[in-house]
Amino acid sequence: MPHRYFTEDIGQNEAFLRGAEAHHFGKVMRGKCGQQLILCDGKGTDYLAQVEEIQKDEVRLQVLSHSANESEPKCSVTLYVGYPKQDKLEWIIQKAVELGAVRIVPFFSKFCVVQPKKEEDKNQRYQRIALEAAKQSGRGIVPTVEMPLTYAQMQKQLPDYDAALFCYECGGKPLRECVEGASNIAIITGSEGGFSPEEAQQAQQAGAVSIGLGKRILRCETAPLAALTATLAFLGELE
């Protein structure tokens, strides 16, 4: 199967890879003229293209055909993730993009162990992880990884969703009942320390519905992916 690259520089008959994508094709993958690639415009259209010319910082391709990308879920799911320790967030981002999340938003809550540090540099790495995961999994868009929010900032965004699911270790409504008919969904999960009762109450006041994820306590890197997978499965997106 042809390798996949994201670029906005796609015309009717001609397209270009530039910068990091051109370097990856020419230097890392040792690409050659005549090779066919799948290009994606990041808006849901895939293009079959053939390499015509390779320069140091630019690859020129001939567009052969195009078609709508079929891998994007019909529902839009945003993950709000309590900022975890070490490299757990990187793993969550990679797997969430593979599964079909459109947006990942870290936030700092009361029991987060990690404190904000060099977040702009980290975010650049997180975006690269999302890009590579989108390419690997055949996505039609590159999901965004937002800069971290405070808990109060996160709450203010919840009214924008059809359903906001607050994953709480004390349980709540069945997830299946909360996502039926929804097309724009937020899933909120905690860090290693979970949430305080006050935070749970604040989320509910902001419009979130507390849900449980079974009778077992899931780790902070497991819960968002379990909730995302269950949501997509209940909405028929994993069939």
pLDDT score at 28: 84
Phi, psi values for residue 108, rounded to 5°: -105, 125
pLDDT score at 2: 80
pLDDT score at 188: 98
- Mean per-residue pLDDT, 159-176: 93
HSE (side-chain half, CA atoms, 13 Å) at 175: 23
pLDDT digits (tens, 9 = 90+) for 53-111: 998 889 999 999 999 999 999 999 999 999 999 899 999 999 999 999 999 999 999 99
| Average pLDDT of the chain to the nearest whole number | 94
pLDDT score at 171: 82
pLDDT digits (tens, 9 = 90+) for 31-56: 899 999 999 999 999 999 999 999 88
pLDDT score at 136: 93
- Which pair of tokens denotes residue 82? 């309590």
Domain layout of the chain by residue ranges: 4-68, 76-234
pLDDT score at 44: 93
Judge whether residue 234 has pLDDT over 80: yes
pLDDT score at 172: 87
Distance of CA 213 to the CA centre of its chain: 21
- Percent of all residues in the chain with a pLDDT value above 90, rounded to a whole number: 86
Q: How far apart are CA 195 and CA 188, in angstroms?
A: 11
Per the listing, tokens 């999901």 go with 143
Residue 115 — very low, low, confident or very high, per pLDDT cuts 50/70/90? confident
Query: Homologous superfamily of 76-234 in CATH?
Result: SPOUT methyltransferase, trefoil knot domain (3.40.1280.10)
Distance of CA 100 to the CA centre of its chain: 7
Residue 238 — very low, low, confident or very high, per pLDDT cuts 50/70/90? very high
Selected residue with higher pLDDT from 223 and 27: 223
Domain 4-68 top-level CATH class: mainly beta
- Percent of all residues in the chain with a pLDDT value above 70, rounded to a whole number: 100
Range 126-134, long-range pairs (CB < 8 A, 24+ positions): 126/89, 126/90, 126/93, 129/90, 129/93, 129/94, 129/97, 130/93, 130/94, 130/97, 130/104, 131/6, 132/94, 133/93, 133/94, 133/95, 133/97, 133/98, 134/6, 134/97
Q: Determine the longest span between alpha carbons in the chain, in angstroms.
A: 61
- Mean per-residue pLDDT, 180-204: 95
Judge whether residue 1 has pLDDT over 80: no
